[in-house]
């Protein structure tokens, strides 16, 4: 076995990966707890870094109501407490009529005392006019907008099919929803080459957002990807974020990936897979086809069933043993100190954009280790300075 690179071996002082090692993953019949629905089959933007455009079929039909209703009913048969629906492949608000009908049916079910899934919608923000925002505020749904920071950064990448900027529309919607539904609202920003993380984070925070997720771009074109200088800037940014959070958490929004990793440092939510894709979380294409998650929708090699017939157990098991296998069955992850805190690579990124063979996307590992190191530092400093504030990190995550 080749010797792992230094960044994989060098755990932060005081951190023992064995202390947070998750229990072995026991494969079994997995109840489906969450579905990601591709309701529109398309997007109205032409983002220059779009991974889905690079890996999925360009055009897919919009989902029919019959397929949507069947998917929701199928989830209800399996999930405990109603489960959850994720609406976000492509631009879901292009199917606004379909979604309003869904919201009405779910609300009626709740009024009748029946369990109904929690709904999480991810949008590029360009279809969030006043009426749509009002509807989402009243719906009780969680909303996430993709916004990549200040105009100069956002409009370089996130453009219409004619190359026009989109920041002004998206930012106006972000400012409004962040004020009206702060607990149900978040922003995700994609970091491409040259994007300064601190500038991105502060620009989004200035719009009133309290939960911000920064993710490195995944794309086949290496010219889009962050370079070594970008990775170093991100490490510095995370270190500065920890300083700000320790000084006063009320003054700084939640940096989602660092806070999630901090919970794992304390022993909560540690696991051997990064998510439930291909197990208790599946993607549903517009035609009802089932896939391990929304990133695989339309990629025939990863189709694992149809909502009319359910999951093909052979195809699903084949995925879980290959692209969806746990981190302890991946050589690079076994050598990495941060593996128990990340749970291994995103299956879709490793399979569709990575080097293949189950190896992780190395660039993304650099960002994950930066988040993990920041989380270790955050927990250690709060433990020594104000241990009661560690419990705040678990608020809403566990019952006290």
Distance between CA 277 and CA 268 in Å, rounded?
20
Could you tell me how many residues make up the chain? 400
The CATH number for 181's domain is 3.20.20.70
H/E element, 363: helix 362-385
pLDDT in tens, 96-137: 999 999 999 999 999 999 989 999 999 999 999 999 999 999
Structure tokens of 297?
């929708």
| CB-based contact 365:341 (threshold 8 Å) | no
* Percent of the chain topping pLDDT 90: 78
Q: How far apart are CA 91 and CA 222, in angstroms?
A: 25
Q: What pLDDT, on the 0 to 100 scale, is given for residue 138?
A: 96
265: which strand partners?
Answer: none
Query: What does the pLDDT look like over 202-247, one tens digit per residue?
Result: 999 999 999 999 999 988 888 999 999 999 999 999 999 999 999 9
Q: What are the percentages of helix, strand and coil residues in the chain, rounded to 5? A: 45, 15, 40
Look-up of token digits 């660092």: 258
pLDDT score of 45: 95
pLDDT at 397 over 70: no
Per-residue confidence (pLDDT) for residue 187, from 0 to 100: 98
Segments forming the whole domain that contains residue 127: 6-394
State in Å, rounded, how far the first CA of the chain is from the last one.
45
**Structural domain includes residue 295:** yes
Q: Is residue 186 part of a domain?
A: yes
* Buried b or exposed e, range 121-132, using 16+ CB within 10 angstroms: bbbbbbbbeeeb
> Is the pLDDT at 347 greater than 70, yes or no?
yes
Q: What is the count of structural domains for the chain?
A: 1
How do 118-123 and 281-284 pair as beta strands? unpaired
Whole-number Å distance between alpha carbons of 47 and 351: 21
Round to whole Å and give the CA distance between 323 and 356: 9
Q: Which pLDDT does position 376 carry in this prediction?
A: 96
- Asked whether residue 400 is assigned to any structural domain, the reply reads no
Cβ 166 vs Cβ 160: under 8 Å? yes
pLDDT of 11 > 90? The answer is no
Q: What is the pLDDT confidence band of residue 348, given thresholds at 50, 70 and 90?
A: very high
Q: Which residues pair with 143 in a beta bridge?
A: 121, 185
Looking at residue 117, its pLDDT comes to 96
Q: What is the DSSP letter of 159?
A: B
Q: What is the CA radius of gyration of the chain?
A: 21
pLDDT at residue 257 tops 90: yes
Residue pair 141/103 in contact (Cβ under 8 Å)? The answer is yes
Instruction: Pick the more confident residue, 218 or 291.
Output: 291
Whether 213 maps to a domain, the answer reads: yes
DSSP 321-360: HTTT--GGGSHHHHT-TTHHHH-S--HHIIIIISSSTT--
State the DSSP string of 260-286.
Answer: HHHHHHTTSS--SSSS-BTTTEEEE-T
Q: Is the dihedral of CA 216, 91, 280, 211 positive or negative?
A: positive
In sequence order, the β-bridge partners of residue 281 are 34, 277
pLDDT at 392: 85
Tell how far CA 377 is from the center of its chain: 23
For CA atoms 321, 324, 325, 330, the dihedral sign is: positive
Establish if 399 belongs to a structural domain: no
Structural tokens at position 359: 């190896």
52 half-sphere exposure, CB direction, 13 A CA radius: 20
Task: Please tell me which residue, 299 or 392, carries the higher pLDDT value.
Answer: 299
CB-based burial of residue 384 (10 Å sphere; 0-12 exposed, 13-18 middle, 19+ buried)? exposed
pLDDT at 3: 65
Give a yes or no: residue 1 inside a domain.
no
Q: pLDDT digits over 158-190, tens only?
A: 999 999 999 999 999 999 999 999 999 999 999
Q: How confident is the model at residue 396 (pLDDT cuts 50, 70, 90)?
A: low
What's the confidence (pLDDT) of residue 44? 94
């Amino acid at each position: 076995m080749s010797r792992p690179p230094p960044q994989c071996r060098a755990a932060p002082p005081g951190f023992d990966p064995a202390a947070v090692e998750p229990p072995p993953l026991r494969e079994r019949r997995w109840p489906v707890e969450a579905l990601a629905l591709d309701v529109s089959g398309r997007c109205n933007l032409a983002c220059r870094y779009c991974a889905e455009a690079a890996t999925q079929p360009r055009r897919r039909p919009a989902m029919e109501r019959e397929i949507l209703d069947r998917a929701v009913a199928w989830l209800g048969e399996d999930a405990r407490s109603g489960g959850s629906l994720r609406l976000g492949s492509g631009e879901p608000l292009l199917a606004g009529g379909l979604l309003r009908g869904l919201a009405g049916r779910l609300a009626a079910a709740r009024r009748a005392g029946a369990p109904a899934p929690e709904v999480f919608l991810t949008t590029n923000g360009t279809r969030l006019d006043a009426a749509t925002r009002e509807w989402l505020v009243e719906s009780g749904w969680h909303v996430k907008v993709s916004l990549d920071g200040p105009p100069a950064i956002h409009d370089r990448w996130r453009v219409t099919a004619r190359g026009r900027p989109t920041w002004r529309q998206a930012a106006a919607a972000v400012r409004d929803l962040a004020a009206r539904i702060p607990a149900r609202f978040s922003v995700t920003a994609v970091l491409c080459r040259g994007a300064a993380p601190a500038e991105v984070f502060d620009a989004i925070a200035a719009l009133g957002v309290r939960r911000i997720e920064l993710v490195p771009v995944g794309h086949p074109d290496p010219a889009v990807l962050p370079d070594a200088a970008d990775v170093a800037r991100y490490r510095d940014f995370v270190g500065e974020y920890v300083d700000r959070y320790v000084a006063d958490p009320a003054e700084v929004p939640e940096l989602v990936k660092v806070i999630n990793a901090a919970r794992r440092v304390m022993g909560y939510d540690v696991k051997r897979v990064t998510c439930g894709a291909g197990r208790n979380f599946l993607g549903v294409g517009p035609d009802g086809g089932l896939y391990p998650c929304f990133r695989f929708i339309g990629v025939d090699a990863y189709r694992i069933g149809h909502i009319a017939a359910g999951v093909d157990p052979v195809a699903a098991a084949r995925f879980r043993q290959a692209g969806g296998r746990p981190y302890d069955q991946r050589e690079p992850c076994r050598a990495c100190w941060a593996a128990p805190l990340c749970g291994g690579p995103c299956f879709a990124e490793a399979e569709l954009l990575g080097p293949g063979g189950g190896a992780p996307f190395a660039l993304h590992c650099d960002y994950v280790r930066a988040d993990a190191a920041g989380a270790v530092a955050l927990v250690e400093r709060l433990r020594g300075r104000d241990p009661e504030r560690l419990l705040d990190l678990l608020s809403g995550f566990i019952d006290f």
